Amino acid sequence: MKIRLQDIADDLKLSKMTISRVLRGHVDVSADTKALVLKRMQELNYRPNISARSLRTGQAYLVGLVVRDLRDPHVADVCRGLNRVFRAASYGLVVSSTDDDPEGEEREAELHLSRQVDALFLFGNDGSPDAPEALRNSHVPIVYLGRKPATLPAWSVGLREIEVGKAAAEHLFARSACRIAYLRGPRTFAADQRFSGYLEAHRDAGIAPRQELAIEPRHGGSEYESAFGAVRGMLQGRMAPDGVMAYTDALAAGARDAALGRGLRVPEDFQVIGCGNNLQVCSIGPALSSVDLAGEEIGTKAGRLALKAIENGANDKPRSLTVSPRVIARATTRSTTTAGREKKG
């Protein structure tokens, strides 16, 4: 016999509404009640009838996500946070990629909207302030994971990018570095904000930043190769840096290996910190210290914003949230104890 929602409610002596709220991931259901209901559903092998629920509520119980590159570890972290929220609420998450095609975002967004998704997520864009036409005319919540177009009334959850640069530089200053080079990223909003954080950390430390230590590695080739060549050249100069912060972990890895190639000890003579906390890069060689970009937290907060917007409909007004980064210290930066001893010596 097919198990119905009412059967579970009768079995547990709960209301059908309570069972429904558990299925929809409502936050006003106690953890004990939720655990009890989910356990009984599993025991009875209950499967929600998505088609019937969609007909009854007018929702697809699907949300869409457009990404630029599925290989990006930050994208994977954000997806993990989103998936956790929507899995708990019995929604499906449909992901598509533009493969870095600048014109692909609007096409993918239109495809998702044609599937009648209940919300659509896109990554922030450093380019045009204008939103695609399909998004401006959308009747479902549009949520940006990062900076949203200024002309679009959309929800957004972004990273405090200035804090990324500031936290990285402060981490090195606290470990006795005093000539910190910065390997900039591309000319984007995020890169400019991180550079502002780098400069702010210098001001707070009372140290004048040296213009020649803030460089943008040449384009062409890999980030690793660009950073390796740039830092090798810097280390031959009279005012060589004693630390490097880099826009990405790949740039940081190139800086680390350039220092090792010059016979410097890392972190005793030369310290390095990257951004991104990409474990595939950070775990190779002397493990890289890095600034974690809070991808999972961004995904979780964005998912909760969207669920609330779906439930409240037109009554929910777009708003923006930001999250803070976190430094992950590893083998390429000193411990504060070691740095303190060297300062006294």
| Domain ranges within the chain, ordered by starting residue | 5-48, 161-293+328-344
Taking a C-beta distance cutoff of 8 angstroms, is the pair 288, 271 a contact? no
Q: What is the CATH number of domain 161-293+328-344?
A: 3.40.50.2300
The per-residue pLDDT for 344 is 47
CATH of segment(s) 5-48? 1.10.260.40
Q: What is the pLDDT of residue 55?
A: 45
In this predicted model, what pLDDT tens digit does every residue of 51-94 receive, in sequence order? Answer: 555 545 557 789 999 999 999 999 999 999 999 999 999 899 99
Per residue in 199-226, pLDDT (tens digit) is: 999 999 999 999 899 998 876 679 999 9
Instruction: For residue 259, give Cα distances in angstroms to 75, 233, 267, 270.
Output: 30, 10, 10, 7
- The yes-or-no verdict on residue 122 having pLDDT over 60 is yes
Identical fold at 5-48 and 161-293+328-344? no
Which one, of 230, 314, 245, 295, lies nearest residue 275 by Cα?
245
pLDDT at 204: 97
Place of tokens 């709220």: 21
Quick one: tokens of 201?
């950390």
The SS3 call for residue 214 is strand
